[in-house]
Amino acid sequence: MKVELLYAALTLAAGLFSLGLLGLLLRRNLLLTLLSIELMLNAANLNFLAFSRYHNEPTGAIFVLFGICLAAVEAVIGLGLIVRVFRTHRDLGYTNLSALKW
Amino acid sequence: MVSQLLPLAIGLPLLGAAALGLGGLWVPTLRSQKYLFGTLATALVGIPFVIFLLTFFSYTEPLSVQGWNWIAIEPRRLPLGFYVDTLSLWMALIVTGIGTLIHLYSIGYMSEDEGAWRYFAFLNLFVFSMLVLVLADSLPLLFLGWEGVGACSYFLIGFWFAEEGNAKAAQKAFIMNRIGDLGLLAGMIWLFAETGTFDIGLLKKGIYPAEVAIGIGLLLFLAATGKSAQIPLYTWLPDAMAGPTPVSALIHAATMVTAGVYLVARMDFLFTAAPEVLTVIAGIGAATALIGGLIATRQYDIKKVLAYSTVSQLGFMFAAAGAGAYMTAIFHVFTHAFFKALLFLGSGSVIHSTGTQDIRQMGGLRKLMPITGWSFWIGTLAIAGLPPLAGFFSKDEILAALYARGSAGQTLYYIYWTVLLAVAFLTAFYMGRLAWLTFEGSYRGSAHPHESPAVMTIPLIILGAGSVSAGWLGLPPLLGTSWIREHWLSQSIKEPPLPHLSHGTEVVLLLLSVGIALVGLGVAWRLYGRDALQADDALSAKLGAAHERLLYQLGVDKLYERSVVQVFYVLSDFAKDAWGAWVGQILPRAIAQAFAQVGTLFTRLQVGYLPSYILYLAVAGLLLLLWGLWG
Amino acid sequence: MLTLIALGVFGVIALVGGALAVILRDPVYAVLSLVKTMLGLAAVYFILGAEYIGAIQIIVYAGAILVTFLFVVMLVNLSPEDIPPLPRGIKLYSAIALALAWMLVLSSALTAILDLPDPEEVRGAPTDQYLFGTLPPIGKVLFTAYTLPFEVLSVTLIVGLVGASLLVQKRSEL
């Protein structure tokens, strides 16, 4: 695989990651923040896969597989927590969810 | 055989100190056993004396006994070792011989004292330390003994510590000694840096460039001035008279103060390599002799007169050493030990029976205490330098050495010689004054003086015999051979060559020595022969201001107090107030506050507002990444 | 060459979807935009030769995870009014700046990669063919070298399952 392809893929991953980061910083709603996190995870997956292709190593691919599975678990648990929070507070905005402070 | 007994000889006094000290401490009922401690202590010094005596008679060559490794940092090792050659054996004999006599004397002198058990323990400890000092084969071990005698001196000067003055005197002695000890330590380490060894035998073989020899020599001499009461570290010795008189006799007359002279003789090779230092040593010795002699002429306390006399005589010894005549210096150590110990013990006898130390309260004691009186006179004549008593021979040798050194081209020594000649006159004078005021005429006091018990007078008699005959071991060339020089000390000490004096010069010098002694005694007799006290008062009146100044010991103490001691008081006040407040209050509070403020700062970060945390994460992550890439 | 263009096209699709997911106010639309991103990425995986993983991406990510997101959106009855608008002003600019900074840093890390030698030179083997695109090679590696992580992963999945069910129970009968 040519280097340019790798480069392109990695740049794409970087861009997706930055977009996800932007969403993480800007979104004021729990659920949509979680969404941004999923975007970042995908960027990382792309990174791994690009290198796996480049070096023809299985490790990257395995990582991606695991990454996807773990992202699934994490999303499920996160969503469960969000449901819980909603039931208690009736709100998913940040302004009222600030009990953990000094 | 002897080599096996050597550790015993050194160890017995230590054992004595431990046994007597701990025994008296833990078993208070023993303390009242009047003669138990004293007899035991005396025996534990007497036996080593016998051992050394046997060693002396069977001596063929130097003996080296090495034991356990004191310091072992591979590959360097410093074993505890003792070296018995003619010099160290001679010193050991003096220490144990005179020591035994003084222990015996103390049995009587301290019989009424409750703390006698402590006294004998310390006295034994002192003998042990002094033996370690003179028999050590390496400088650190010598230093151990050096410090040991300093410590025992402190214990014994401040023996009656309930009196504040005594405690202060002990402190003064120890601190002044300590200043000198710095010199020994520094010199020792410098020597090690130059040669890589502490062993004296190995050091002897070294070759020392001039600057190094001068530097180390001066440092070692500083230590000697502290221990042997020379200028500038001598003012502790008169104050040390606060201790019991036998202590003054042993430590501050016969043994500890001679440690400085021993050091110079032991390290003869170093000093010979630094002639400039020798000149300094001789100069200081002469100056000290002069000052000591002058002050002694106007003192009224019998022990103070003897104390300043000791300072003066030590000056003689250093003057001899400064002329390169190390053997002569040791010879004077030897003779001086006899008559000074005799004089001190005699004064102790007098103090014991009259209850005072003021000679104006005495008089006519020879008739009331004949043994004390006659032996004291023998001591006086000996120290004055009257032949054929001991002092004459060693003093004459010192003067001859100085004169010879002068004639070798170093005219400075002629000046030293003149000074010492004058001091010899003073010596005869002030000792005559002391003897007449104390023992002649009629009794002026209010007590009932009587002769001391045999325990105290027997040592006086023995020392008297010694004061008469000790000098015969070192006859001047005119009158025969000096055994101590040619056949004994020369095996261990190497002196720089001294020019031979012509026969005629020798005769003149001899006659001068005798003459000076006679003149001094004569003047004293003329003045104090009758009505001694009146004559002395008349002299004080005639001297006027000079008398006052001499009586107050030339104000040297005050000078030191103002310059050195005051500085320390100022520093400690500053430490207590300013520095103390700063370090104790202000600084800790400031630090605590700083921490509190930083803590407050950090608590503000914890807002509980999730987006803030996310922001921190993002920023920190970026920074970490940057650091990882280009860190 | 062709691959590069194709990659570019689908990459742009993914990026647009990601941007929309971040910007849109309607939660449903936001999630659906992300689905678009996932599909675009799956296409990229296919272009890179990882067919199996691309399939997994579609099935699991787009088809399960994001659907679960949608379920929760429905459950919570999240409407566009509930979502506060994106911040304006300094907050916006600083966030964009930070994201750009990250982008730059990550890219510059990439320029170092250009110094890497071509794998052809390193291995001397034909590398046009991606060896792990299909299931059999991955399966072989999965059950030999990576057996332990695989098993742990299954445990993790069970834990997640149990945990999630516990979390959403109505009454606290814990």
Give the A window 65-94 contacts with C, CB below 8 Å: 65-66, 68-77, 79-84, 86, 92-93
pLDDT in tens, C131-145: 888 888 899 988 998
- The candidate with the shortest Cα–Cα distance to C157, out of C165, C146, C145, is C165
- The helix-helix angle for C147-167 and A58-89 (nearest 10°) equals 10
- Enclosing domain of residue A71: 2-89
Q: How far apart are CA B5 and CA B7, in angstroms?
A: 6
Rg, Å, chain A Cα set: 17
- The candidate with the shortest Cα–Cα distance to A13, out of B626, C113, C41, B279, is C41
Contact between chains at A94 and B607 (C-beta distance less than 8 A): no
State the amino acid at position B51 in one-letter form.
I
Task: Name the residue facing A28 among B603, B611, B618 (closest C-beta).
Answer: B611
Q: How far apart are CA B553 and CA B548, in angstroms?
A: 9
Contact between chains at A9 and C65 (C-beta distance less than 8 A): no
- Find chain A residues with C-beta within 8 A of C156's C-beta: 69-70, 73
- Find chain C residues with C-beta within 8 A of B625's C-beta: 102, 105-106, 109
The pLDDT confidence band at residue B154, using thresholds 50, 70 and 90, is very high
Q: How far apart are CA B618 and CA C16, in angstroms?
A: 22
- Find chain C residues with C-beta within 8 A of B618's C-beta: 98, 102
Residue B525's pLDDT is 85
User: Is the separation of the CB atoms in B129 and B120 below 8 Å?
Assistant: no
Residue A84's pLDDT is 87
The CA distance from B620 to the nearest CA of chain C, in Å, is 11
pLDDT in tens, B312-362: 999 999 999 998 889 999 999 999 999 999 999 999 999 988 888 888 888
Same domain, C4 and C77: yes
- The helix-helix angle for B390-407 and B326-354 (nearest 10°) equals 140
The arithmetic mean of pLDDT across residues A64-93, rounded, is 88
Which among C81, C105, C125 is the end of a domain? C81
The answer to the question of residue A60 being in a domain is yes
Contact between chains at C37 and A39 (C-beta distance less than 8 A): yes
The answer to the question of residue A98 being in a domain is no
The answer to the question of residue A94 being in a domain is no
pLDDT in tens, C152-164: 999 999 999 999 8
- Find chain C residues with C-beta within 8 A of B616's C-beta: none
Residue B122's pLDDT is 92
φ, ψ (nearest 5 deg) of residue B453: -65, 165
Residue B361's pLDDT is 83
Residue B420's pLDDT is 93
The helix (H) or strand (E) run that includes residue C96 is helix C90-111
Helices (H) and strands (E) in chain A, counts: 3, 0
The arithmetic mean of pLDDT across residues B120-143, rounded, is 92
Contact between chains at B619 and C98 (C-beta distance less than 8 A): yes
Contact between chains at C105 and B619 (C-beta distance less than 8 A): no
Mean pLDDT for all residues in chain C: 86
The answer to the question of residue C101 being in a domain is no
Which among C60, C81, C102 is the end of a domain? C81
The answer to whether residue B35 scores a pLDDT higher than 90 is no
Residue B324's pLDDT is 87
- Find chain C residues with C-beta within 8 A of A32's C-beta: 27, 30, 83
Q: How far apart are CA B99 and CA B13, in angstroms?
A: 11
The answer to the question of residue C128 being in a domain is no
Q: What is the CATH number of the domain that holds C67?
A: 1.20.120.1200
Residue C114's pLDDT is 60
Q: How far apart are CA B187 and CA B177, in angstroms?
A: 15
Q: How far apart are CA A36 and CA A39, in angstroms?
A: 5
Contacts across the A-B interface (CB distance below 8 Å): 31
User: For chain B, which residues lie within 8 Å of any Cβ of chain C, measuring from their own Cβ?
Assistant: 615, 618-619, 621-622, 625-626, 629
Contact between chains at A68 and C60 (C-beta distance less than 8 A): yes
The answer to whether residue C122 scores a pLDDT higher than 60 is no
The answer to whether residue B3 scores a pLDDT higher than 80 is no
The answer to whether residue B606 scores a pLDDT higher than 90 is no
Give the number of other CB atoms < 10 A from CB of residue A5.
18
The answer to whether residue B417 scores a pLDDT higher than 70 is yes
The pLDDT confidence band at residue C38, using thresholds 50, 70 and 90, is very high
- Find chain B residues with C-beta within 8 A of C102's C-beta: 618, 621-622, 625
Interface residue C167 vs chain B (CB under 8 A): no
The answer to whether residue C104 scores a pLDDT higher than 80 is yes
Residue A46's pLDDT is 94
- Find chain A residues with C-beta within 8 A of C95's C-beta: 22, 25-26
The pLDDT confidence band at residue C126, using thresholds 50, 70 and 90, is low
Name the DSSP letter for residue B253: I
The pLDDT confidence band at residue C115, using thresholds 50, 70 and 90, is low
Q: How far apart are CA B8 and CA B2, in angstroms?
A: 10
The helix (H) or strand (E) run that includes residue B77 is strand B76-84
Give the number of other CB atoms < 10 A from CB of residue C131.
16
Looking up tokens 């990425």 gives C41
φ, ψ (nearest 5 deg) of residue B323: -85, 5
Name the DSSP letter for residue A63: H
Residue C54's pLDDT is 94
Q: How many domains does chain C have?
A: 2
Q: What is the CATH number of the domain that holds A78?
A: 1.10.287.3510
Distances (CA, A) of B511 to B381, B390, B436, B515, B519: 16, 16, 25, 6, 12
The answer to the question of residue A96 being in a domain is no
pLDDT in tens, B246-302: 998 988 777 888 899 999 999 988 898 888 899 999 999 999 999 999 988 888 899
Residue scoring higher pLDDT (C7 or B69): C7
Name the DSSP letter for residue B136: B
Q: Which among B615, B617, B622 is the top mutation candidate for probing chain C, defined by the most C β-carbons within 10 Å of its own β-carbon?
A: B622
Q: How far apart are CA B517 and CA B508, in angstroms?
A: 14
pLDDT in tens, A18-73: 999 999 998 888 889 999 999 999 999 999 998 888 888 888 899 999 999 999 99
The answer to whether residue C124 scores a pLDDT higher than 70 is no
Task: Note whether ipTM > 0.90 here.
Answer: no
Same domain, C73 and C1: yes
The CA distance from A38 to the nearest CA of chain B, in Å, is 15
The answer to the question of residue C129 being in a domain is no
Q: Compute the CA torsion angle C29, C35, C36, C40 (nearest 10 deg).
A: 160
Q: How far apart are CA B424 and CA B148, in angstroms?
A: 33
- Find chain A residues with C-beta within 8 A of B607's C-beta: 98, 101-102
Q: Where are the beta strands (DSSP E) in B272-318?
A: none
The answer to whether residue C172 scores a pLDDT higher than 90 is no
Contact between chains at C84 and A26 (C-beta distance less than 8 A): no
Q: How many CA atoms lie within 13 A of B483 on its CB side?
A: 4
Mean pLDDT for all residues in chain B: 87
Distances (CA, A) of B257 to B168, B267, B296, B320, C165: 19, 17, 18, 16, 96
Q: How many domains does chain A have?
A: 1
Q: Which among A18, A19, A24 is the top mutation candidate for probing chain B, defined by the most B β-carbons within 10 Å of its own β-carbon?
A: A24
Q: B617: nearest CA in chain C?
A: C98
- Enclosing domain of residue C166: 143-174
Q: How far apart are CA B584 and CA B591, in angstroms?
A: 12
The arithmetic mean of pLDDT across residues B212-233, rounded, is 90
Contact between chains at A25 and B615 (C-beta distance less than 8 A): yes
The answer to the question of residue A101 being in a domain is no
The arithmetic mean of pLDDT across residues B446-467, rounded, is 86
**Tokens in use for B252?**
């501050």
Neighbours of chain A (3+ CB pairs under 8 A): B, C
